[in-house]
Amino acid sequence: MQSRALEILVGFFVCLGVAAVLVLTLRVASLKDVGGPEGSYPVTARFENIGKLSTGNAVKIAGVTIGRVSAIAVDPTSFEAVVTLEISKAHANIPKDSGAKILTAGLLGEQYIGLDPGGDENSLGKGDEIKLTQSALVLENLVGQLVASMAEKKEDSKLADALGKLADAVAPAASKKP
């Protein structure tokens, strides 16, 4: 009888441990309702490149999470990424001329959308579109630009060396003329 009670007690604590891990996982992943009891409203933004942004990523102002990315689609005519943001109604006073950037938390961290508040007296509302956007910085593109820049500088230095040699060759010949 004692072993049966011990088995039930151990099973209870195992279930309690699994539940605790589940709750902690959901808190860390921040999968709770965006708007809380107030609810949320959708806003869209268009980007040329979203990098590794995905649904569920944070929307922040001044480092404070105010919403989540709820959907990502491609506009079939402009081929831009259309990102839908669910913003908490507690933050319904965001100026209409605000900008949106895709940023990265740390060097290799998760991407999020950072909003830069504008100065307009009117606020963003349900279904509005953020016009000022800055796409994600893609590391591969930056490396490609760096390599191209270095190759260009190398060619420029070769050209400068050749012009210098030409000038040296012409200068003695010009000084010998009567």
Both 1 and 84 in one domain: the answer is no
20 and 54 together in one domain: no
User: What is the pLDDT, as a whole number, of residue 79?
Assistant: 93
Q: Which pLDDT does position 15 carry in this prediction? A: 85
Q: Assign 176 a pLDDT band (cuts: 50, 70, 90).
A: very low
Banded pLDDT at 81 (limits 50, 70, 90): very high
Q: Looking at the structure, tell me whether residues 127 and 147 fall in a common domain.
A: no
Q: Greater confidence, 164 or 176?
A: 164
- Model pLDDT, residue 158: 61
CA distances from 11 to 18, 63, 135 (A): 11, 42, 50
143, 68: one domain: no
Check residue 163 and give its pLDDT.
Answer: 58
| Pair 73, 154 in one domain | no
Do 151 and 127 lie in one domain? The reply is no
Tens digits of residue pLDDT in 86-142? 999 888 899 999 999 999 887 677 889 999 998 888 888 888 999 998 888 776 676
Count: domains in the chain: 3
- 15-59 pLDDT, tens digit per residue, is 888 888 777 666 655 544 455 556 889 999 999 989 888 999 999
Residue 60 and residue 3 share a domain? no
| Residues 122 and 155 placed together within one structural domain of the fold | no
Q: Are residues 89 and 127 in the same domain?
A: yes
pLDDT classification of 173: cutoffs 50, 70, 90: very low
Residue found by looking up tokens 């004692």 in the block = 2
Instruction: State the average pLDDT over residues 70-99.
Output: 92
- Shared-domain flag, residues 66 and 97: yes
Structural domain of residue 149, as residue ranges?
A: 139-178
In three state form, how does the secondary structure of the chain look?
Answer: CHHHHHHHHHHHHHHHHHHHHHHHHHHHHCCCCCCHHHCEEEEEEEECCCCCCCCCCEEEECCEEEEEEEEEEECCCCCCEEEEEEEEHHHCCCECCCEEEEEECCCCCCEEEEEECCCCCCECCCCCEECEEECCCCHHHHHHHHHHHHHHHHHHHHHHHHHHHHHHHHHHHHHHCC
CA distance 79 to 73: 10
Query: pLDDT class for 76, splitting at 50, 70, 90?
Result: very high
Is the per-residue pLDDT at 9 higher than 60?
yes
Q: Are residues 63 and 106 in the same domain?
A: yes
Reported confidence tier of residue 174, pLDDT bands at 50, 70, 90 = very low
Kindly state whether residues 64 and 108 are assigned to the same domain.
yes
